[in-house]
Structure 1
């Protein structure tokens, strides 16, 4: 999982066949290592349908003919699910006719042909690209180069036009007339200067430099493959392996439909955005609405998945104004940005993180705008103003930046003391001369305080979203795209979103404590409540303490004792035994969290006349904006300290943090919800699925470990920061009690390095718990491994790199268990909408339990969509490996049931609990670092030189603290 995607990061879906680079034609992908498909259907093959509409071979239940010679990336589909009641839904897909003629694939490499000088601070040279001649150019510039090649340089060659993905892949509807299969073109991005313009310096896109001609770009096109659409038609029928020829063909179709909008609008991989609908949310950010589109193969046909999308853009305008808005200092004026006038370094760093990578134009008042150079990219900010920064001219004289602008450009700076902007070439430009142009996608993490604004803009009611998707055809206008027409693709202008039949699964029956008035419950609409219910296995609290870090004027003693009283009432209501009704209550200063918590533990022991242990539970009340304090609390109690400086009083003690504003005068429901977290943190179990409702999970003959794994990556542009991995799994027979492990690894590496070590330890703890606590046979017979955050292009890597680690972990524990590997995907754009209002839940979405495994699923592989809670976005499950030979009904019911055992909620969640927990554990990895240390783990990015980034990454590795032994055995992450 990648870091976690901000709502502004549009176009992050992982649709089938939407590979970003594609184009490899090195041969078929090897089959996955799973067992042969079960119960293969036999029958006569249906004759091949025309390329426009492919008829599935209706054998058995309507499955494609996945013959034995067909290889798949995942487990072959052998059946469809049957359980549940039928539901007719709309889905955001439009059918598309695929080409009938061959498509020609070219590798397109573009580069700047000549090295350029590295002088800085000469304004006419500050737009130079200082790089080797083989520099990889940005996608937007690459598209501009190819457009000029087609329209100006060699239009006779590129008629009809080709399409380009902005990197390496070019696709043509006809074979280009290259004598040897390859040809190189050299040209500039500027038209020849007229006689009156000679010697005045270049302008426009390519930008000439004084005394030199314009930059020359070289583009070499090489024919690498010819795509026969019959291969794609056979794949949709289930008669062709899912190999690289198919992937390349689907990539080509995606590039075709995206070519037109990417030439016109800001784009982000699979989405493009327009300024028709925007919202300024402050902090230098403007939100734009856009559309996502992706060609996806389905059973017997090709579809285009269309969805609305949102992007966070940098606010256009003067760089000074944007900087002041970001820092919330607009009323104080530009001088606040002056280090000479006390501009804090922390604010400078914050501003630099926000602006790094942003394109700017240079606009000097009084200078003609004709022949303006292309935008430059901000590298960093200076630590001094233009008056303090000096450099040596070519004639050997030293001059400040401010003097240079006055002497050379006859412009006296209004704010010579404020920080300047340094661009990629090293040129330094006063901020007052910089403007941020419109339409720049912010590829960094959206600040946490803006997340709510983004969600409010991005969220639409289901019927409104469906209406926008239906209206998308008018915006996308495939029929007007010359590229779509020339390649022979066609979407009917009267097309509607696809209708299909889903099923609604029955929810599992949940069991609570035997003392409950209502010991069992079957959730409705994905939710239930705790009324008349006690936890299945409640804990006992012998001693506890309340530590308040809020000022006593804001959180006084009466409020604190109300909090204690509310907790005691809810403890009794849910079955938690509390042996102390008058806990120690302390107000502490947040100067040293670890020492104050240690002091609180000592006070508990002193209260009991220095006998017995410290507290079992610490309730910690924090003020607003207390992220650092929260980290300190968790770090102090959960981590393994090597120096033993804090003793044993607080090590492994469950801590429950509360925000003062929320728990002050909160109702009973609030404290009941907090109890849902406290009980599993202390080793209890809130609820379990009834054995009869989920036999796959609770079969005593097949003890089962269910694992969830995830990886989280640093924010875009954040160099020198690691990725974090997590493995979570059950230790009990009811798959309700989980433990977790977290590790640090190489930045942005998706495959988990330490999976074997984590799984080995986990299986060992499972065996000990089964034997010592449950008094049962210790060895598991099944391992179900849910993997989050893996793109479809990495499925094979999971099987080649992570599956062997799981097998070695089992062998290390002398366990012979069958493994099932399932990837759970959330970052896609598939949506379902009920066709009848009476079939919708209260929010207008499909009911919890809606499952789809036909019509829009993979032509040959075992996958399904399951919408397990109240939302329009289902989770996408891909079965990669299955030694347990589960039926579709069994896996779908199993996955749905696991969405109901998430301990922190009385609602079903979007994905199975263990993988949801793994996501939480990864997100909290920063708690493994001492908050007093110099480790910046904020969401914003920092760009570093490669050596500095490597040293910083090693420091992160060396200072990552493991959990202490007590914490390892409980659900500390709940």
Structure 2
């Protein structure tokens, strides 16, 4: 039986030093010991079954290098692991609280049964190195109290019920066979790997704040304002690799509530200085109250112990209280009945505790299940509480800055991590027979640097074909492969005319025209209408007025609207995109005033990359000779990218959005998109059949009517699916793949399908061993691929770092092949994937994932543009649901969703 909760991580283990040959050396339990991952190419046995496609031989193309990776070898002893199901009553307790209950059970309530100690995942699973004595039924229920009896408390401490039931015994020999490629991946293997992860995380989970797979310490922190402090932490995950188990170690970051007075946190969050600012009124209105309430809800606080004027029995063992919300009224304005008399909160503390509130005029907080009201000044925020709410853009920027470490610095931190992780000092690690050498070093693995595809630009280019170097190239002396043209356009300036005057606007126009001329975009009317508008006004009316002015001047409505926006104008951007992409079908291009006012040629060249494809042009194509698989005229290929975006944490009443993007041309450079609303937090794409059918139809129509191809139907489909965890791979095979096949059947076509998962939510990193193999940022070069030693023993997967590093340590993408009718080998799929990372229209750089997947992510992130900005229903953080019923809420979002305009649906409006 598999574990009851939690998903396995996505990191995939790590390798030994390169070049070590010879047969694998057995570890203490049949699991190969450190350094055992040599012995030539690893191919699973014929009888072994994989979730997806079985691993083929590794690729051979490209230049060979050696990289260091953030993995440590771990030796696993032969043992039997006993799996128990855990039920704690009540079942609504936080994970942190569950850990306290299990610790108390093992150390105080029943230490004789739990010797040696078992490990626990915080929810439903316990693993023990020995069978627990739970009686003949292999099941027992324990009464656990977290506090010792207090003679002053007549009620006694609260009792929690813990029921343990034996589930299964797992012999680690099956795991050893799996690592050798001799055993299929099944629930036993999954449970064994999960158990080992619980083992290494048990000690840190009891000692430090933690989330799913990371724990955090206050050794390195930074206060970023808004009541938030960033803490450095460590990620760790045991992963199966070829012929052995490895521990993937990385640094991580968490946002924590600032500990100390709750009043200080509230003021910092709202950017207030004076406690009196929290007085209900114009400054602290309902909107600010709701924002603050959402931010501090579920926060645990200590309430200052006040000595009652009269001794009160039954008030022992005061535990932290959990905030439920913020009151609408102040302490002096909230009254309740006490002994038949109405008194205020202020009077209550004066009468009962002889305590005069310092700030009786400000709001209070509601705590506990009963909604007790406590003055903010009496609350202290406990240390080490993770912020699970969506962070503001300003805090997010600081979060990214704190998280960013250059490769050399990151590797140094990873090397120092063993001292903090202290595997040798953990009684849990020792009792389960895991060994990590105290002097262990991050492992090395063979890698290859793939050759980039040749890119082709248009006629008139000084250099019509180029071979990108180091993951980038430039537009100097190059014409677009298929340049667009537009006749009429308007410029709408939303910035203050003192910051962006007419002269600046004219300079911006000339810079954009020069860039268009340089890349071949033809512009008929060279003097656009320029208008200045109030960013607080009705955007649709303003843009219609600008269009009318254009018609008066030129005799027609504009083909392009250029909008100049002030800093932080997200709502304005959404309104402009809604008007252009959804309402009217007119292409829009937004620019920030502080960038375009006195921009250089490179800035406007980048703007032209976006404008050209929005108007139907093609910037560049991969040269057909360098990507023969994609451009084979006998086997037309359509490439699709799919992604799903879920609502932010805490937003239970919002939908998810599913996007599908696909090329329509023969050169895999011109893409279209489809976006659908679906049930919140549902990962599988509900409407995939209809969405993919539309893509296939538009592909065939384009090839037939535009490219004039005699056989327009595709022979191959390459489908990249983003955002899916390992635990959902089988669902993709069982649910999404049949939907894609049905779409083909509906159109009476039978293309061969290759389906890959694209993943970036992992912690695998690569570091060049030799400086000559590093790029300018110190990262591995673009095109670095790893498909040996640290990868899965039986599944067809690999890592590809397809982009050049800019800041920090680059993260490779992880690819898993779940289905392949085209029978592609490692070299073929890796080269194809790397080529698709070069056709991203918005940049002259290779990107980290294939362009259609990148586009799908962008389409999802722009879901807001499909809703009327002036309507009641939107996707802002402060939006409230139109109904308490989840179904009604989803239907409201569906009913108000507006697809893109018919004109834009055939263009790359999302670029």
Structure 1 contact 360–378 (Cα < 8 Å) conserved: yes
Report 1:811-890 matches (<5 A).
Answer: 811-871=745-805, 872-890=810-828
State TM-score, norm by structure 2: 0.94
Aligned-partner Cα distance in 2 for 1:945–1:491 = 54
Q: 1:61 touches 1:79 (CA, 8 Å); kept in 2?
A: no
Query: Which piece of structure 1 moves more, 418-427 or 398-407?
Result: 398-407
* In the alignment, structure 1 residue 15 sits paired with structure 2 residue 11: yes
Give me the whole-angstrom Cα distance separating, in 2, the residues matched to 1:218 and 1:17. Answer: 38
Task: Give the C-alpha shift of residue 50 in structure 1.
Answer: 5.1
Change (3 A) 1:158 1:965: same
Q: Cα–Cα, structure 1 residues 161 and 577, in superposed 2: closer, same or farther, change >3 Å?
A: same
Partners of 1:89 and 1:962 lie apart in 2 by: 46
> Which one of 675, 690, 697 corresponds to residue 630 of structure 2?
697
Residues 57 and 63, structure 1, Cα contact 8 Å, conserved in 2: no
How far is 1:154 from its partner?
A: 1.0
Match of 1:350 in 2: 291
Q: CA 1:361/1:564 → structure 2, altered by over 3 Å: closer, same or farther?
A: same
1:917 aligns with 2:850: no
Q: Is the 8 A contact 1:12 1:828 kept in 2?
A: no
Deviation at 1:498, TM superposition (A): 0.7
Deviation at 1:396, TM superposition (A): 3.8
Looking at structure 2, the residues matched to 104 and 172 of structure 1 have their Cα atoms a distance apart, in angstroms, of 5
Conservation of the 8 A alpha-carbon contact between 2:646 and 2:656: yes
- Is 1:187 matched up with 2:125? no
* 8 Å CA contact 2:547, 2:557 repeated in 1: yes
Q: 2:126 corresponds to which residue?
A: 170
Question: 2:735 & 2:458 partners in 1: Cα distance?
Answer: 42
Partner of 1:158: 114
Matches within 5 A, 1:670-709: 670-709=603-642
Report 1:328-367 matches (<5 A). 328-330=271-273, 333-340=274-281, 342-364=283-305
CA distance in 2, matches of 1:98, 1:765: 54
Partner of 1:789: 723
Q: Residue 751 of structure 1 is aligned with which of 671, 678, 684?
A: 684
Query: 2:343 — aligned with what?
Result: 399
| Counterpart Cα distance in 2 of 1:522 and 1:597 | 42
Q: In the comparison of the two structures, how many residue pairs are matched?
A: 884
Superposed CA deviations along residues 860-882 of structure 1, whole A, max 9, x for unmatched, are: 01000000112431000000000
Counterpart-to-counterpart distance in 2, 1:320 and 1:367: 23
Using the TM superposition, give the Cα deviation of residue 67 of structure 1 relative to its aligned residue in structure 2, in angstroms: 2.2
* Distance of 2:520 and 2:281 partners within structure 1: 62
The correspondence for 1:958, drawn from 895, 899, 902, is 895
Counterparts in 2 of 1:83 and 1:863: CA distance versus 1, 3 Å:
same
Contact 1:16 / 1:792 at 8 angstroms: preserved in 2?
no
Partner residue, 2:45: 66
Question: Which residue does 1:28 correspond to in 2?
Answer: none
When residues 367 and 568 of structure 1 are mapped into structure 2, their CA distance, relative to the original with a 3 A threshold, is farther
Aligned twin of 2:910:
973
Residue of structure 2 equivalent to 1:436: 381
Structure 1 residue 219, shift from structure 2 partner: 0.9
| Alignment-derived partner of residue 762 in structure 1 | 695
Q: Please state how far the C-alpha of 1:52 moved relative to its aligned partner.
A: 5.3
Distance 2:390 2:634 in 1: 47
CA separation in 1, counterparts of 2:43 and 2:172? 18
Cα distance, 1:71 vs. partner? 1.5
Is 1:89 aligned to 2:67, yes or no? yes
- Give the whole-Å Cα distance in 2 for the aligned partners of 1:488 and 1:61: 28
Checking the alignment, whether the CA contact within 8 Å between 1:899 and 1:913 is kept in structure 2 is yes
Report SS of the residue matched to 2:460: coil
**Retained in 2: the 8 A contact 1:51–1:99?**
yes
Higher mean C-alpha deviation, range 944-953 or range 89-98: 944-953
Instruction: Choose which of 577, 582, 586 in structure 2 pairs with 1:653.
Output: 586
- Counting only pairs closer than 5 Å after superposition, residues 467-506 of structure 1 correspond to structure 2 as 467-506=412-451
Distance 1:357 1:298, change over 3 A: same
Moved more, 341-350 or 222-231: 341-350
The residue correspondences of 1:124-139 to structure 2 (distance < 5 A) are 134-139=90-95
Secondary structure of 2:630's match? helix
| DSSP 3-state at the match of 1:582 | coil
Please identify, of 184-193 and 827-836, the stretch whose mean Cα deviation from structure 2 is larger. Answer: 184-193
Match of residue 320, structure 1, among 234, 242, 263: 263
Q: Give me the whole-angstrom Cα distance separating, in 2, the residues matched to 1:443 and 1:588.
A: 38
Q: C-alpha separation between the residues in 2 aligned to 1:57 and 1:387?
A: 71
> Is the 2:178–2:184 Cα contact (8 Å) retained in structure 1?
yes
| Equivalent-residue separation in structure 2 for 1:666 and 1:531 (angstroms) | 16
Residues in 2 aligned to 1:348 and 1:668: alpha-carbon distance in whole angstroms: 47
- The normalised TM-score by structure 1 is 0.88
Q: 1:939 to 1:856 in 2, by over 3 A?
A: farther
Residue 736 of structure 2, aligned match among 771, 781, 802: 802
Distance 2:168 2:53 in 1: 29
1:701-755 Cα deviation digits (max 9, x unpaired):
1111100000011111112111111000100000000000111111111111111
- For the residues of structure 2 that align with 1:58 and 1:388, how far apart are their CA atoms? 71
Equivalent residues of 2:754, 2:819 under 8 A apart: yes
1:601 pairs with 2:535: no
Residue in 1 that maps onto 2:199: 256
8 Å contact kept, 1:681–1:972: yes
State the Cα RMSD in Å.
Answer: 2.2
Cα separation, 1, equivalents of 2:166 and 2:844? 58
Cα distance, 1:569 vs structure 2:
0.6
Q: Distance in 2 between matches of 1:46 and 1:437?
A: 50
Paired with 1:856 and 1:900, the residues of 2 have a C-alpha distance of 26
CA distance in 2, matches of 1:675, 1:364: 65
1:370-409 pair list within 5 angstroms: 373-393=318-338, 395-409=339-353
- Counterparts of 1:58 and 1:721 in 2: how far apart (Å)? 47
User: Which has the larger displacement, 135-144 or 836-845?
Assistant: 135-144
CA contact (8 A) 1:61 1:80 kept: no
Tell me, in whole angstroms, the C-alpha distance in 1 between the residues paired with 2:685 and 2:156: 51
Q: Which residue of 1 aligns with 2:712?
A: 778
User: Contact 2:24–2:39 (CA<8 Å) still a contact in 1?
Assistant: no
What are the Cα deviations for residues 568-619 of structure 1, in whole angstroms up to 9, with x where unaligned? 11000011011111111111223110011111111111112xx4x4111111
Moved more, 290-299 or 715-724: 715-724
Contact kept in structure 2, 1:64 and 1:299, CA below 8 Å: no
